[in-house]
Amino acid sequence: MFRLFAKLLLASLFGLILYAGSSTQVVSASPTTEPANVSVIVYGFLRFRALSREKGPAPFYADEMKLLDQPAQRVRIVLFWSLGGAWNYLDELYSWETPGLQGYYQSPEYYFSQPVQIAVRFELSDSRVQIRNPGNNNYSYFIDEYIGGNLSGVVRYDRTFGSYFENQFEYNLGQAFYLFDLTARDGYNFLQNQVAWNDDRRLAINFPKKCLDVPMETTDCYRWGDIIAQTPGELFIQTPRSASYPDGVLHEYGHFVLAKYISDWSVINACASQLYNHDPLVLSSQTCAYSEGWSNFFQAALQSDTDILGWEIESLEFSSNIDNVTYWNGEQNELTVAAVWKDIFDASNETDDRMTDGLNGYNKGIWYFLTNANHNNSFDEFEADWAVQRGNDCTLALIKRRYRIFDISPCKTHLPIILR
């Protein structure tokens, strides 16, 4: 223990960050009885660079682009050792999410009989998400790198993945890391913070890979991993460019979330009556508007967006477009359904929006009716459950009417109904 303490003290004097609670692991580098008198600790920081795009305001949608450079967290790190022959498995770690030490990793102290070679595999896989290699869907997206030979003592290995220059390997790699970060961290942590979500499923994201691999295909999707066998649902992100749009990626992740409660079948076939096509500015079916509306709302709420799919839902321009599209059938439009939930969720209240409910206000909010009530498949069903559980006092009706959704039952209020 004194040797370990001395190494940690020496490292700290040189500005290195090592976790003092690190355990010790003895690894035999040889089947002989040679004394294990060489130790190795491997640590470092992981980061990634990627492009993030957001569509600008409707109707022109000019892209707004950001250059990201941020910690790579929750990354699986597999260490290997060798004495010059075959490589042997040593250990696996995960990069940290700890505030102030995001992207940091540190191994225990390993003992060998002599200095060794160390290699590492960085893998985009954890208990929540697996980014799948397009060449073989059974393997995670990974990169192998050689740290060095004749190593002993404290070894630092930092790595920044990704590039801002498109059509290069490092660019594709950075977008894969961005995909992982958006889903394994942003998507999951948002639900964990809002509703104490604890999901035991692991989402497979196939990247880059088309949804159906047919000519002229341009969309990402959530579908069964094997369509014939109907294996659990997976995400298909077709290109590194489509991976740069967090709105789209988190929209698809929203389908994965909802499928846990209403089934993969209900989510995947929600728009079947439209031959699986849907458009935010046209009417569809209630099941399609409900499923797609949830995913539109989910990505906007998570990112604290003031817009949904480029439309500023508080604007008069949006209201006039809704008038032209829905004709008081807003429950059949994915954009209006999303806008209703966004008004329920957010703290920005207007004359006809008096709710700041979060995702699950009073423990009987949006999340409750999506997951615990009757596992609704339409906004009418959602509204009926809301009236029973929360009362029919017109707080929801005021918001619905703003987006041209009729009441399925009269509400009771002493306040004037204001339409815009």
Domain boundaries, the chain: 2-48+69-157, 269-420
Half-sphere exposure in the Cβ direction for 363 (13 Å, CA): 1
What pLDDT sits at residue 348?
73
What pLDDT sits at residue 123?
96
Provide the 3-class DSSP secondary structure of residue 120.
Answer: strand
Question: Which CATH number is 2-48+69-157 given?
Answer: 2.60.40
What pLDDT sits at residue 235?
96
Q: Which residues of the chain have pLDDT under 70?
A: 1-35, 58-61, 136-138, 314-321, 323-327, 349-351, 373-375, 408-409, 412-420
User: In 62-218, where does DSSP find H-type helix?
Assistant: 169-180, 188-195
> Considering the entire predicted model, what is its pTM?
0.88
Enumerate helices (H) and strands (E) in the chain, giving the number of each. 11, 17
What pLDDT sits at residue 414?
40
What pLDDT sits at residue 13?
36
CA dist 153 and 37 (Å) reads 11
CA dist 185 and 183 (Å) reads 5
What pLDDT sits at residue 307?
83
What pLDDT sits at residue 1?
42
DSSP E strand stretches across 227-290? 233-236
What pLDDT sits at residue 316?
58
What pLDDT sits at residue 310?
78
